[in-house]
Chain A
Amino acid sequence: MITSQPNRLASGGLIDRSAPLNFRFDGKTFAGFQGDTLASALIANGVKLVGRSFKYHRPRGILTAGSEEPNALVELRTGARREPNTKATTAELYDGLEAASQNRWPSLRHDLMAVNQLFASIFVAGFYYKTFMWPAKFWEAVYEPAIRRAAGLGRAAGAADPDHYDKAWAHCDVLIAGSGPAGLAAALAAGRSGARVILCEEDFLLGGRLLADGGTIDGMPAAEWVSRTLAELATLPDVRIMNRTTLFGVYDGGTYGAIERVNDHLPSPPEHQVRQRLWRIVAKRCVVAAGAIERPIVFAGNDTPGVMMASAMRTYVARYSATPAKRIALFTNNEDGWRTVEAALGAGLQIAAVVDARPDVSAAHRALAAKAGFAVLNGFVSGVDGGKDGVKKISISLAGGARAEVETDGLAVSGGWNPAVGLTSYHRGRPKWQDDISAFVPDGAPPGMEAAGAANGAFGLGACLRQGFAAGAAAAQSAGRDGNAGAPPVADDEAFSLTPLWHVAGKGKAFVDYQHDVTAADIELAQREGFESVEHLKRYTTLGMATDQGKTSNVAGLAIMAAVSGKSIPETGTTIYRPPYVPVAIGAFAGQHRDENFHATRLTPSHHWAAEQGAVFVDTGLWKRAQWYPRAGEKDWLETVIREVKAVRGGVGFCDVSTLGKIDVHGPDAGAFLDRVYINTFSNLAVGKARYGLMLREDGMVYDDGTTSRLAEDHYFLTTTTAKAGPVMQHLEFCRQVLFPELNVQLTSVSDQWAQFSIAGPKTRDLLREIVDPAEDLSNEAFPFMGARKVSLRGGIGARLFRISFSGEMAFEISVPARYGDALVRNLMLAGKQFGVTPYGTEALGVMRIEKGHVAGPELNGTTTAADLGLGKMMSTRKDFIGRVMAGREALAARDRQVVVGIKATDSARRLRSGAHVIPKGEIPGPANDQGYITSVCFSPTLDQWIGLALVERGRDRIGEIVHAHDPLRGEDYDVELCNPVFYDPDGGRQRG
């Protein structure tokens, strides 16, 4: 049974009564209309209690009608789409909407956690620091879980977000934040001037305060002016209006962040559409017309449901035709609050009384009061009677000292307006105090940004239009658009007289920050305890640190601090403003980059073929590399890898090594250039030869290694490790451009241009002869070890052939243009069938390199020198090269450095694991006698036991010594023997044969 909407006016408002919607709140079904927010629909249904507060679990109602809302936070939607801490005041109603109140147990009306109020004394300012200090282990075990249960906000969905998010760029001359009178006037001026304009409005309707407050512009009702203005803007060539879009951040160089809630107003996004879109907008100029936020007055009981901001009260009445109360009282210190009285009377509601802090209420208002029959009391509201069912009665301290009470079911409060200074302060601009409106206004805005209208402290409608129009025209002009902006829209300026009032002293809790339950007493306590600086005040009390970032509370909080510390408000100052202006879902920042699209994936030329073979792949940076190729009946990876290694060592196998970085080095000075970046010499390398090279960083540590071949007098082909392909290219470009401009040399990254395979094993030549043009002589004489040259394949395809070996076997690496990579691998399989050719993966590659004692990533770890790796002799003494001088430092040449050495377990059945620490045999493990660690291990099918490489102090002087391997992580202790790192074919006869 759907309840009627008892608090809905019979007519009026910007809701579509022909489109009724049903929704559920805390399991109960209600009705609303298209055009409602969840908050306005709840109000129309007479729901006053919508949540419980953070610490004290006090009953809370709806305070505002916008994105500044601190109280009315709900869990919106269900299941995987459940979104906690969603503001009911901005959530658009849709049919079937489901929302639940938060932070209550077992139910909103009967919240047992409200006992927290009885222990309020422990929840005072700084309670996190005071109450839960000792013992430390109690924090994780007791305090934190208890606090999380008792104090907190909504629950996350706990399941993967089923929706998609997108990221997009936009560029414009003039970016405008806000579609109120100032924003629309700015868009008119800029658009007419010929500027490319983007206007962002967080609401789903355009018009800002005009939607609720109306007024007369250019002699017509505001609503008519808005629709005429939108019609004109639509005719301009490049004005883009984005509603449901909040400008949340300002970044360097005129870049802005905006979040577009594309489909949040629907139950779920239509197929193939995104939920939200994150915009990065690059704008030459920005006009901030984001308006102002009405501020509360702090008094006892000011958080009772039914106490509402005056502007919000009239927004619900005028825009949504929903009445928060029948008999409204107003507590104001300024003229603007009275507009709520006018709106309420216009809607046929009763006014209980107006409590005005100013003694000099205008004659017009007094006449209105007399006519409508309500009292105007000069004084302050000092207490509220009521609870979860709302306000019943207010107590008033009259100016003369007497007290009064007024029965009311809704108290509208206006303490004045704070310009929305967030966007203008995001580059550490400090807003400045403006006395006549008792508010901070923008100062020190980021370059190219200007505030206009209420955001700039100009509250009159006429002033908003004038400032907005002028700012729009000026922004277009400075963006180089100087068309005729035409005439500005015109309206009268309302009076805005205000007597500053922040806090009414009295008994009972008076809330400053509703969302974090920070009271006036907390601020006074913080001051007494020495946390007087606003930045300290903020951290100590958590004022302004909730999801609303203190939009309704910060200024009141620092005004109270100013009062108790005897300073002025400008002396007290503001905290630093930081984006985002509203919470932005992490999903929006991630966009499409999640799950398998978290990063780009690079596939080797043989990938699809390898996948057909059932290869197991491993992620190496962005690459997917075949790790091994399991065959039916093999019980585990180790069996597979052993088979692959034996097949290579006994016959022939191949492995895709295309992931290595490849750089063509061209030019008459190519050799001289390589001499400066490698520790060894390349200028004397003969054409048709390859050489292993080692690069250092300028600090003397090893940077990268690889084989570089000379294909012509002025052409070298350089390879890098897979991991360093990008960084080495960048480093070499730095050397070429910045350090050695006198060298005539060019670098070209060709990593993706060549498919490269290592073919290894004693039958390599037999297999290659099936692939390579028979005219090519592959004999040891014509193509010796470390030879490198261009060859033709059968069919005439050009290839590069390198006689280099990582495995220690007779081996070649062959490069073909990447587009032939797939064909090559399939032909290798066909041609190699007669020789039992076996594809092998990176694991077998790793086994064979450890057997051969080659260093790789675990040893080239950024802390090893060439000498540490056993490659010190490669360092030329006859030339300058990157890292030469620093590599000669005393400590880097010290005798007791940890150097690469081989290890094998004394118990040949023992499995080794990398990471184990090496300590002298017989000593107790500890930092004092830690002599290094095991870097790489494998099971060697050739030696039929586990072997490894380690970095060990003076390791190469201790060959044959038994040391102790200590692995506290895995709880293992065993003895290993230090040995020659080249386990296999130490004199290299096989690779030369």
Chain B
Amino acid sequence: MRIVCPFCGERELGEFTYLGDAKPVRPAAGASEDEVFDYVYLRDNIAGAMSEYWYHGGGCRAWLKITRNTLTHEISSVEPAAGVGARQVAR
């Protein structure tokens, strides 16, 4: 598999680490136990296009949000994951 890192260009799979589903958003402070439980444990089992977190540890150390088809491994988009998992919190 090849991943086109937006910072480094096309690189080989071995440079990256997989984390998992990029859909869940971390609940804000004060969220209920149920909300956090959903965030930590509940995942859809997707057959098709799925957005995922990948880490370019063998390159620029950027966390990436990648849309990958779980049936074909086709990657349709790669973008920086900056802020993807954050709910806007009051500072």
Contacts and interface: CB of A to CB of B under 8 A. Distances in A.
Nearest to B71: A428
Interface in B1-38: 1-2, 12-13, 17, 19, 26-31, 33, 36-37
Contact of B2 (A255, A726, A742, A885): A255
A730 B40 contact: no
B5 to A, nearest CB: 13
A738 B53 contact: yes
A889 interface: yes
A879 to B, nearest CB: 8
Contacts of A1: none
Nearest to A676: B29
B46 to A, nearest CB: 17
Contacts of A739: 26, 85-86
Contacts of B12: 255
Contact of B53 (A427, A734, A886): A734
From A254, A726, A734, A888, name the one whose CB has the most chain B CB atoms within 10 angstroms.
A734
Contacts of B75: 253
User: Chain B: interface secondary structure?
Assistant: loop
Nearest to A882: B26
Interface in A878-892: 879-880, 885-886, 888-889
Given A738-B63, A886-B37, A889-B33, A733 B55 contact: yes
Interface in A685-740: 698-699, 726, 730, 733-734, 737-740
A251 B55 contact: no
Interface size class of A (residues with CB under 8 A): 20 to 34
A880 B29 CA distance: 6
Interface string A807-837: 0000000000000000000000000000000
A968 interface: no
B36 A886 contact: yes
B19 to A, nearest CB: 7
B32 to A, nearest CB: 8
Interface in A251-269: 251-255
From B36, B41, B81, name the one whose CB has the most chain A CB atoms within 10 angstroms.
B36
A698 B63 contact: no
Contacts of B27: 885
A70 to B, nearest CB: 33
A257 to B, nearest CB: 13
Interface in B54-91: 55, 57, 61-63, 72-75, 80-86, 88-89, 91
B16 to A, nearest CB: 11
Contacts of A926: none
A741 B2 CA distance: 27
Nearest to A253: B2
Nearest to B88: A742
Contacts of A699: 40-41
A189 to B, nearest CB: 26
Contacts of A733: 55, 61, 63
B77 to A, nearest CB: 14
23 contacts: A253-B2, A255-B1, A447-B74, A698-B39, A699-B41, A730-B55, A733-B61, A734-B19, A734-B53, A734-B63, A737-B63, A737-B83, A738-B85, A739-B26, A741-B86, A742-B83, A742-B86, A742-B91, A880-B29, A885-B36, A886-B40, A888-B33, A889-B33
Given A880-B29, A885-B31, A885-B33, 17 more contacts: A253-B2, A253-B13, A255-B1, A255-B12, A447-B74, A733-B55, A733-B63, A734-B53, A737-B80, A737-B81, A738-B81, A739-B86, A741-B83, A741-B86, A880-B30, A886-B36, A888-B33
